[in-house]
């Protein structure tokens, strides 16, 4: 009998056996989703396929099969998974092959049963969006949901999030929440229907961090090209640096806090971090959404900056060149902004390294115009910090002091790298 998508099969090739559900394939390979949550792609040449169960004989879904399958295990920590959407929260419909962004904790646990050895999970879908559609008010709602879960006794939080803007959301929650427990952002670059999906590994590593003593907001994602480890990035020092690689997330101007060894589940740390229960839970989630991140390019008109001043923006971050420069004709606009009590912070397109506007004349004039050096902060972190700071405080001088200060290790006192 011919096998088709959705059937449970056993594939034997070269003495190796694979068992799982047949997935859609566009390459001619047989793709099966194994019980581990991983997919295997097998060249059909020389492979023997045995059908174990036809798809029409299988239950419609895990829910239809009965919800009682996953029981809580006494003694394990409690972890809440909050989903906002993105690839990690997608589910494969084995009948149609479609990838749909559905979510329930049960769905995740059915797909990745290893998780049940790490913690007892509960899940909530907060949003079901692609992360390019995130916005400040969603960060606020998410922060409230996180705090509620912690108040209800969660020992750790996992936030499933699209990877595109994960670092903005992670930075926002990092500024907003004083947390006594780990808050871990996780995503996946490749959906579960692809042979090289990072879904299961990232989720398992995120769960390990969620039950660890790293009580910070972190991003836990594939750490290198292989399947050895996930990196634990500090929320204020991380960036998506590749469109498609699984190890797209990199700590910038910092080492990651540490790594999770996928094989052993062991966590190795190399940076100091806030420990579990060190901080009292607190939420300060007011934000000023009318802040802009403006990229300077050679020959760009100073009118660009002028637009934001006249449109009533309350804070501006400039992504300048090199050590933190813009052309001389932008400087009067910087001065106009600061004289209207609109803070202007300069960061660098180089990403790596630190702003120093005291070396060249342009830089010195930028400082004279009232701009603040963004030190070694990523431009997007500076933007989120600006939104958070102006949400907390309206007084210009006090806001500038907060912007210059170091709140969540977003600034290294010295450049180490």
Beta-carbon contacts of residue 16 (< 8 Å; ≥ 6 apart): none
Closest distance of CB 257 from ligand GLU, Å: 22
Positive or negative, the CA dihedral 337, 339, 345, 349 is positive
Site string for ligand GLU, 22-61 (x = CB under 6 A): ----------------------------------------
Nearer to ligand GLU by Cβ, of 56 and 244: the residue is: 244
Of positions 70, 130, 304, 402, contacts ligand GLU by CB under 6 A: 130
Interface with ligand GLU by CB under 6 A: which range of 16-24, 160-168, 307-315, 379-387? Answer: 160-168
Q: Strand 258-261 relative to strand 229-234: parallel, antiparallel, unpaired?
A: antiparallel
Rounded CA-CA distance 404/399 in Å is 9
| Binding flag, residue 343, ligand GLU (CB under 6 A) | no
Strand partners, 292: 316
Residue 392 structure tokens: 């907390």
Interface with ligand GLU by CB under 6 A: which range of 34-42, 127-135, 309-317, 351-359? Answer: 127-135
| Count of residues in contact with ligand GLU, rule CB under 6 A | 10
Beta-carbon contacts of residue 30 (< 8 Å; ≥ 6 apart): 9, 11, 22, 41, 42, 43, 44, 47, 49
Note the residue count of the chain: 417
Q: How many CB atoms lie within 10 A of CB 88?
A: 32
Of positions 15, 71, 75, 132, contacts ligand GLU by CB under 6 A: 132
Q: Tell me which residues are annotated as active site.
A: 87, 163-164, 240
Lookup result for tokens 């709140």: 407
Rounded CA-CA distance 278/364 in Å is 41
Lookup result for tokens 């202007």: 344
> What does DSSP assign to residue 214?
B
Residue 349 structure tokens: 């397109």
Of positions 6, 86, 258, 324, contacts ligand GLU by CB under 6 A: 86
Interface with ligand GLU by CB under 6 A: which range of 51-59, 158-166, 200-208, 258-266? Answer: 158-166
Nearer to ligand GLU by Cβ, of 131 and 285: the residue is: 131
Site string for ligand GLU, 297-336 (x = CB under 6 A): ----------------------------------------
| Binding flag, residue 197, ligand GLU (CB under 6 A) | no
Nearer to ligand GLU by Cβ, of 20 and 162: the residue is: 162
| Binding flag, residue 83, ligand GLU (CB under 6 A) | no
| Binding flag, residue 138, ligand GLU (CB under 6 A) | no
| Binding flag, residue 164, ligand GLU (CB under 6 A) | yes
Pick from 302, 363, 295: which is nearest to 337 by CA? 302
Write out the H or E segment, with its range, that includes residue 379. helix 379-392
Kindly list the residues in this chain that would bind ligand GLU in the complex (CB under 6 A).
86-87, 130-132, 162-164, 187, 189
């Amino acid at each position: 009998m011919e096998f088709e998508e959705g059937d449970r099969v056993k594939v034997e090739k070269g003495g190796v056996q694979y068992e799982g559900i047949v997935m859609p394939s566009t390459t001619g390979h047989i793709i099966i989703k194994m019980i581990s949550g991983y997919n295997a792609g097998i060249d059909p040449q020389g492979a023997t396929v045995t059908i174990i169960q036809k798809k029409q004989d299988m239950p419609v879904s895990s829910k239809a099969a009965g919800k009682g399958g996953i029981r809580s295990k006494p003694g394990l920590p409690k972890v809440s998974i909050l989903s906002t959407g993105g690839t990690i929260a997608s589910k494969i419909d084995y009948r149609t092959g479609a990838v749909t962004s559905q979510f329930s904790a049960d769905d995740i646990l059915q797909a990745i049963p290893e998780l049940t050895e790490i913690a007892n999970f509960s899940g909530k879908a907060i949003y079901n969006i692609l992360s390019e559609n995130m916005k400040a008010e969603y960060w606020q709602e998410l922060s409230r949901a996180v705090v509620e879960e912690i108040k209800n006794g969660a020992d750790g939080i996992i936030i499933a999030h699209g990877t595109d803007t994960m670092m903005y959301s992670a930075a926002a929650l990092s500024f907003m929440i004083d947390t006594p427990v780990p808050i871990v952002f996780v995503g996946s670059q490749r959906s579960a229907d692809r042979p090289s999906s990072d879904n299961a590994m990232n989720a398992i590593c995120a769960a390990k961090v969620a039950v660890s003593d790293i009580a910070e907001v972190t991003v836990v994602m594939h750490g290198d090209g292989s399947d050895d480890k996930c990196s634990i990035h500090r929320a204020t020092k991380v960036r998506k640096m590749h469109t498609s690689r699984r190890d797209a997330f990199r700590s910038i101007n910092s080492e990651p806090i540490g790594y999770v060894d996928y094989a052993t589940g062991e966590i190795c740390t190399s940076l100091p971090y806030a420990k579990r229960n060190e901080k009292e839970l607190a939420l300060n989630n007011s934000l000023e959404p009318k802040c802009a991140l403006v990229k300077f390019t050679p020959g760009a008109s100073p009118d660009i900056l002028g637009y934001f001043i006249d449109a009533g923006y309350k804070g501006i971050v400039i992504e300048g060149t090199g050590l933190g420069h813009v052309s001389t004709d932008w400087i009067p606009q910087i001065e106009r902004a600061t004289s209207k009590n609109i803070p202007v912070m300069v960061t660098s397109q180089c990403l790596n390294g630190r702003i120093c506007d005291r070396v060249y004349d342009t830089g010195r004039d930028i400082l004279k115009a009232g701009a603040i050096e963004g030190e070694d902060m990523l431009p997007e972190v500076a933007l989120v910090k600006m939104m958070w700071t102006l949400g907390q405080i309206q007084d210009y001088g006090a806001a500038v002091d907060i912007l210059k200060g170091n709140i969540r290790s977003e600034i290294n006192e010295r450049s180490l790298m």
